[in-house]
Structure 1
Amino acid sequence: MSTVLENRARHLNPFTGQVLAAILMLIPHHAQAWEFTPGLPCLLTHEEKGVAFALTYDPGLPLYVITITHPERWTDAPAFAMRFDGQMPIAIGTDRHEIDASGRSVTVRDSGFGNVLNGLQFNTTATASLGSQSVSVSLEGAAEPVAAFRACEVEAGA
């Protein structure tokens, strides 16, 4: 869970975000279900087998961010890809990804994530790949939290 909250910390001012991320790294990691957390930004998270998925959406920008944290360092490659297997299979890719300073997190930012959200909501497995490295997670229980994430809105004046 701490890796998920570290992603939210990146949206805070740099000092506060770094302090919060450092504190959260001390919390033991454990598996969790797909979870939607409303707020600014809205947050969709999942951890499984040491892999953490965190999606944020800031409707004020609008900007979607997905960060996938792996227990080992990612090796940089020209393209990042995601494949969703199940009843509505889809594969997507981009060359607009970033690896963080630790080498464990890869992040993609974009103003539209329709294919990613469809993949998460309507399939059974998600696989993220960077070069020869791939990590897969189950999408069991993801449909309802993804639907809530899609409906994310911030009240006027918030």
Structure 2
Amino acid sequence: MRLILLLTILPVPALAWDHTIGPICTLWHDTPEASIRLTHDPSQPLYTLTVTRKRPWLDSPWFAMRFAGGQENVISTNRHALSEDGTSLTVADSGFGNVLNGLEFNTRAYAVTEGEFAAFSLDGAAPHVAAFRDCAPVAGV
């Protein structure tokens, strides 16, 4: 409970969101403490979400995204993986509708594991999320 209270009152640096559209579309946001990067390969279809921190994530049986400030929601999974050095946590799935809704229609996002989190401001994210949603397969030559 204390973790949830702490997540609601912590300031979150407001740095720019950005995206690229191509054969694999990318949406990202970097803060001094952490970065969040989503990719979408529409030919699969496959989405990935990676949260990278300067210090390693501890091993956890679950990973959750908490969205606050609009259409609040919490989504979780046990299908996440840590990078070899433990600084990146990645989830992959064939659909990310709840994640994209959370990023587009809220003001804050939190990547949370058992006892740890990374916080992200969603200021300015909405137009980039909308463009990322429109990612479509690129025709081959």
TM range (shorter): 0.7 to 0.9
- After TM superposition, the score normalised by the length of structure 1 is 0.78
Question: After superposition, where does 1:98-137 map in structure 2 within 5 Å?
Answer: 98-137=81-120
How many corresponding residue pairs? Answer: 128
Q: Which runs of 4+ in 1 moved over 2 A?
A: none
Deviations 1:40-73 (A, max 9, x none): 2100010012211000000000000000001100
Alpha carbon RMSD of aligned pairs, Å? 1.2
Residue in 2 that maps onto 1:70: 53
Tell me the SS of whatever aligns to 1:45. Answer: strand
TM-score normalised over the length of structure 2: 0.87
1:34-113 alignment, distance < 5 Å: 34-113=17-96
Higher relative contact order (CA 8 A, sep 6+): 2
Considering fraction of residues, name the structure with more helix: 1
Task: Report the Cα distance in structure 2 between the residues aligned to 1:60 and 1:154, rounded to whole angstroms.
Answer: 6
Which runs of no fewer than 5 residues in structure 2 stay unpaired?
1-13
Deviation (angstroms), 1:130: 1.2
Which one-letter code corresponds to 1:43 in the other structure?
A: T
Q: Secondary structure at the residue paired with 2:28?
A: strand
Q: Which residue of 2 aligns with 1:8?
A: none
d(CA) in 2 for partners of 1:79, 1:103: 15
1:33 CA drift (Å):
1.0
